[in-house]
Amino acid sequence: MKPSTDLNDALMARARQVIPGGVNSPVRAFRAVGGTPRFVQRAHGAYFWDANDQRYIDYIGSWGPMILGHGHPAVLEAVQKAATEGFSFGAPTEREIELAEEILSLVPSMEMLRLVSSGTEAGMTAIRLARGATGRSKILKFEGCYHGHADALLVKAGSGLATFGNPTSAGVPPEVVQHTLVLEYNNVAQLEEAFALHGADIAGLIIEPIAGNMNFVRATPEFTRRARELCTQHGALLIYDEVMTGCRVALGSAQSVYARLIPGFEPDITVMGKVIGGGMPLAAFGGKRAVMEQLAPLGPVYQAGTLSGNPVATACGLATLREIKQPGFFDELSRKTRRLVDGLGAAAQAAGVPFSADCEGGMFGFFLLPELPQNYGQVMKTDGERFNRLFHGLLQRGVYIAPALYEAGFVSAAHTDADIYATIAAAAEVFKSL
C-alpha cells in the first residue's frame, strides 16, 4: 500500500528541519504509535487526503471541532462572506454579540461569556477569574484531565493530599504550581479529604466532565454531585472544562447530560472551545454575571486578546451552531456514534480481543480493556503495543483514529452509515491479527 516514494516521509523530513519535531502540536508527531504522520492535503466531508493522495475516514476531525464534517457548504459560505468583509478589526462587531447570545442560549448556566482564541487561553483565564472572584489561590484538578498548557495547569500529583503538585513540563518552576492540587478522577474520598484539608483556600475546582484527554472517562453522577456540593459548601467555584465536550456530546454540552441525572445541576464557570468555532481558532469562558463582571474593563481581573472575537472565526462558529441546532441533529449523530461503538465491540468480541467502549453524542472512546476505566491509572493499564498495532492496522486500511490510546474519537454529521460499516469491517480484520 505504501508508495515507493512516500511524500509524507519527504514532508516530515523537511518539516523536522524548521519545526521542532516537525509538528506544531506534539501529538501530531505519532511519537506514541511510531511511523510517519500523514500530512493533510485537503479534506471534505468525513474524509481527508494525505500527501500521497491516500484517502482516510477521519475520526479526529481536528480533535473535535469538525462536527459537521469538513467544508460544510453553509459554513464555507459564511466564512467566505466574512473574509471578504475583513479578517480582523480589533474593534467590536455585531457578530460577536450574536455568537455570545447563541452560546448562552445553548448553555444557560452561563449568563455572560468572553470570546478568546484557544482553549488554553479560556482555561487559563477561568482559573484567574476564579482566583480573582474568590480572593483565594488554590486550585483542584484531576489526573488525566487536560486544560491547555498554562503553567499552573501543567501539573501532576504530589506525594500526598497535603502537598501540592509537581510540574509536568520543564520551564514551569515548582513555585508556579504550588497552589495546584491534583486528585484522582472519580475518587470521592480524596475529594472530601482535599476540601477538609484546604477548603477555605480553594478558589476553584476544574474538571473535564467527560474526560476526553484520557480517551473517554465519565465522571460518575455521585462524584459530580459531591463536587458540586463541596464547592458550594466551601465557597469554591466549580469550573467545567467543556472545550471538548461543549456542543459535542449534546447541544447543551456535558452539563446538560449531568443536569438530567442531578436535578438543578450547574457549574459556576464553563470553558468552551472547538465546536463553537467550527474549526477556526475560537474559544470562550463564561459564568454568572457577578463573576464575569470581575473581568477588565469592569473589574480587577485582567484578560485581553488582539484576535479575540475574530470576525471570520465568529462567522464560522455561528454557522456551525446554526446547523447543529436543527431538530434531530444530535439524535442522528448519537445513533451513528453508537452504531460505530457497538460494531467495534462486536468485532472485538468475535476476535476474542478485550474491549470496552462508551460514547455520548458525537464523541466516543474505546479501550483494549475488559471494563471501562474510571480514572487515569486504569486507562494506562491498556496494552500500548496492542493499541499501536490496531492504530496502524486501521491507518493502512484508510481509517484515521487518534495516534495515542489516551485520546477520544469524534464522529461528524458527514460520516455515512457506509463509512461506519467500512470502519467496523476494517477493525474486524485488524482485531483478528491482534
> Which residues of this protein are in contact with ligand PMP, per CB under 6 A?
63, 118-120, 123, 146-148, 208, 212-213, 241, 243-244, 273, 283
Of 124 and 390, nearer to ligand PMP (C-beta) is 124
Query: Which is nearest to 1 in space by CA: 404, 395, 389?
Result: 395
48 and 398 Cβ atoms separated by less than 8 Å? no
Quote the least distance from Cβ 281 to ligand PMP, whole Å: 8
Of the listed 138, 141, 274, 336, which one is catalytic?
274
Which residue is nearest to ligand PMP, using beta carbons?
Answer: 119
Of the listed 146, 185, 240, 258, which one is catalytic?
146
6 labelled catalytic: no
Of 123 and 309, nearer to ligand PMP (C-beta) is 123
Quote the least distance from Cβ 116 to ligand PMP, whole Å: 9
Query: Strand 166-167 and strand 155-156: pairing?
Result: antiparallel
Q: What distance in Å separates the CA atoms of residue 165 and residue 118, rounded to the nearest whole number?
A: 25
Of 19 and 418, nearer to ligand PMP (C-beta) is 19
Of 75 and 153, nearer to ligand PMP (C-beta) is 153
Query: Which is nearest to 276 in space by CA: 315, 218, 331, 333?
Result: 315
Grid cell in block for residue 186: 472519580
Quote the least distance from Cβ 140 to ligand PMP, whole Å: 16
Sequence-distant contacts of 350-357: CB under 8 A, at least 24 apart: 350/428, 350/431, 351/428, 351/431, 351/432, 351/434, 353/431, 353/434, 357/216
Grid cell in block for residue 111: 449568563
Quote the least distance from Cβ 23 to ligand PMP, whole Å: 13
Grid cell in block for residue 216: 473517554
Q: What distance in Å separates the CA atoms of residue 55 and residue 47, rounded to the nearest whole number?
A: 7
Rounded (to 5) percent helix, strand, coil in the chain: 40, 20, 40
133 and 291 Cβ atoms separated by less than 8 Å? yes
342 labelled catalytic: no
Of 51 and 152, nearer to ligand PMP (C-beta) is 152
81 labelled catalytic: no
Grid cell in block for residue 255: 452539563
Of 211 and 348, nearer to ligand PMP (C-beta) is 211
Quote the least distance from Cβ 1 to ligand PMP, whole Å: 30
Of the listed 241, 268, 358, 419, which one is catalytic?
241
What SS3 class is residue 240?
Answer: strand
Quote the least distance from Cβ 61 to ligand PMP, whole Å: 12
Active-site residue list:
146, 241, 274
